[in-house]
Structure formats: C-alpha cells, structure tokens
Amino acid sequence: MSAEKIKCLIIGSGPAGYTAAIYAARAEMKPVMYQGMQPGGQLTTTNEVENFPGYPDGVTGPEMMIQLEAQAKRFETDVRFGFITKVDFTGPIHKCWTEDGHEIHAETVIISTGAAAKYLGLPSEQHYLSIGGGVSACAVCDGFFYRGQETVIVGAGDSACEEAHYLSKLCKKVTMLVRTDKFRASKIMADRVRNTPNIEILHSTETVEVLGDGNGVTGVKVKNNVSGEEKEIPATGFFVAIGHKPNTDIFKDYINLDETGYIKYEKPGTSLTNVPGVFVAGDAADKNYRQAITAAGTGCMAALDAERYLASLEH
C-alpha cells in the first residue's frame, strides 16, 4: 500500500484541533484530522461551558464540540475517526501511521492531542464524573456552579492551591485534602491557602469514597492515613487537582518535551516546535491556562504558522 500524501495533518480534536482545521481548510491546505481516543477532547466531559465567548446562555461541552466539528467540515476538513499511533519526523516529509497501519506523508503536522486530567480512579468518583454530577478537574471551568456551596478539593501542588483559592471566592467552604503532612506547592501558594479563612486543610488525608444520591455529589468520605480515622465531609462538588498528563508519548523521540511531557515551543509566541513543519496547539503544550478559548487561539496560530511554512517552501 502506498502512503497517502497530504499538505496538513491535524492530530487530535478539541477546540485547538478544530480551530486549526477551520483556518487550515479556509487557506486551501485541505487538512486531514484524526480525532484521537476522545473525539472532542476534554470538553466532552464538561456539562456546562459558560465562559466561552459567543454563548450568552452557555453551551454543553459535547454540543460545542459538535458545532466546531460541523464548522470544520463545512470548509471540507477531512475529519476521520481513529488515531495516530506512530510518527517519524526525521525527514522533510513527516511520516505518520494510524492504528490500522495506514501510512500518511504530511508536509505539515499540527499536534493538538491535549492533556488528560489525572483522577484518583475511585469507582464513585468516575460515576459522578461520567454523569456530570459534581466531580471536576477544573475549578476555573466549573467553580461557578458551586457558588455559596461547600466543596472538597484534592491536591498538594501549586495548581491545587490556586484552584482552592479560586473556589474560596465562590464557595461557602472549601476543604482541601493533602495526602502527606506537607504541601508540594511553593511557600507563597501554600501560605495563601493557609491564610484564607474559608479553606480548611486536612493533611495526611485520603479520599475513600465520593458520596452521592445517584444524581449528584453530597459528600466525601475521607481517612486520616496516620490515625486511620474515617469521617464524612458534606460537599456538593469534588475537585481533583493532582495534575495532567499531556498526550505526547508518541512524539518523544522527535519533539522537545519538558520534564513532565509538555511540548516545548521552539520560539515563544508561536506554535513552532523544534521540527520544521510540525506545530503544536492547545493543552499538549499549555500547562498554565488549559482553557477552551486559549486552546482555540493556539489552534489559529498553528494553522497560520503552517500556512506560512508551506508558502516558504514554494519560494
């Protein structure tokens, strides 16, 4: 079987991938998109999106992704179900293979594979996550829905402290569960949560079960891993802030990654990677903002950078 030759391959969907597709398609780059393991990305697990401009009444994450996909297809993006399992970026033509062995030779590649939030893996946590019943990995996205309520957040790093502090401005009370006897966060961030009156910090504490009535979270059962004592904390929201894992493993032999696996920009303010003709958009490179709107912005940048790269080859 001979390889398929294309101008632009987009690996991964979500706001970054779909926005890149819209721009690339309008620039006559005839993009081919492989949607990946989770078509639509992390937003498909988000019930309500109220902070994306242009939706005055809000929109569900899955609905928004359906609309973005339809917009990409309107400009004749070739959207394919499936995923890329192997790449070879050693030459000027970027070779990629799908899960069923189909070989693609792309002049440009836009990586928009995103990052997956890490969860505790408890059956109760996964149940309420899957039904949108009060489990979240993004306080900035979902904290608004818990105004005046009591919430629990798990985590010990800077982002956990930042999210706890954000929730404290909206919620009546925030209980922070830290598995060990100290924070991993920087001193300034740890002090900020310690000095916030409506944040209670429980050290050496682990989650046993997320409690609920079948439809939504009503509390969290926790255990002190020193004394063994268990107790229940009333809460309507359970936030997990134990990190994200960028979906970049297949690129590690060719693309420069940081120590946690995020793709490094070759030049700040662009979407360029260390490989000419390969660009990155969205959460695969962004560990700071991780919002749909910032992902979409970098998707636009990646398509424009790819278009300029193709134009430079013609001269």
Looking at residue 265, the DSSP 8-state letter turns out to be P
CA–CA dist 226, 223 (Å, integer): 9
Nearest to 151 by CA among 189, 184, 118, 200: 200
**Set 8, 141, 161, 171: catalytic member:** 141
Together in a domain, 234 and 264: no
CATH of the domain at 23: 3.50.50.60
Residue 43, pLDDT above cutoff 90: no
H or E segment to which residue 139 belongs: helix 139-142
- Boundary-marking domain end, from 241, 270, 300: 241
Told to judge if 249 belongs to the known catalytic residues of this protein, a careful annotator would answer no
Residue 81, pLDDT above cutoff 90: yes
**Set 96, 142, 171, 286: catalytic member:** 142
- Boundary-marking domain end, from 224, 241, 258: 241
Reading the block at residue 313, the tokens are: 């080859």
| Residue 141, pLDDT score | 86
Burial 75-88 (b: 16+ CB within 10 A, else e): bebbbeeebbeebe
Reading the block at residue 89, the tokens are: 């970026």
Together in a domain, 235 and 284: no
Number of domains making up the chain: 2
User: Quick one: pLDDT band at residue 48, thresholds 50, 70, 90?
Assistant: confident
**Set 8, 138, 161, 171: catalytic member:** 138
Told to judge if 141 belongs to the known catalytic residues of this protein, a careful annotator would answer yes
Residue 35: which residues within 8 A CB-CB, separation 6 or more? Answer: 12, 13, 17, 79, 80, 81, 82, 83
Together in a domain, 96 and 187: no
CA–CA dist 264, 248 (Å, integer): 11
- Boundary-marking domain end, from 183, 208, 241: 241
Residue 31, pLDDT above cutoff 90: yes
| Residue 266, pLDDT score | 96
User: Quick one: pLDDT band at residue 314, thresholds 50, 70, 90?
Assistant: confident
Together in a domain, 125 and 237: yes
Residue 44, pLDDT above cutoff 90: no
Where in the sequence is the domain holding 301, given as residue range(s)?
4-116+244-314
| Residue 49, pLDDT score | 86
Q: What is the pTM of this model?
A: 0.85
Contact present, 277 and 271 (Cβ < 8 Å) = no
Together in a domain, 65 and 126: no
| Residue 21, pLDDT score | 98
Told to judge if 96 belongs to the known catalytic residues of this protein, a careful annotator would answer no
- Mean model confidence pLDDT for the chain: 94
CA–CA dist 292, 142 (Å, integer): 13
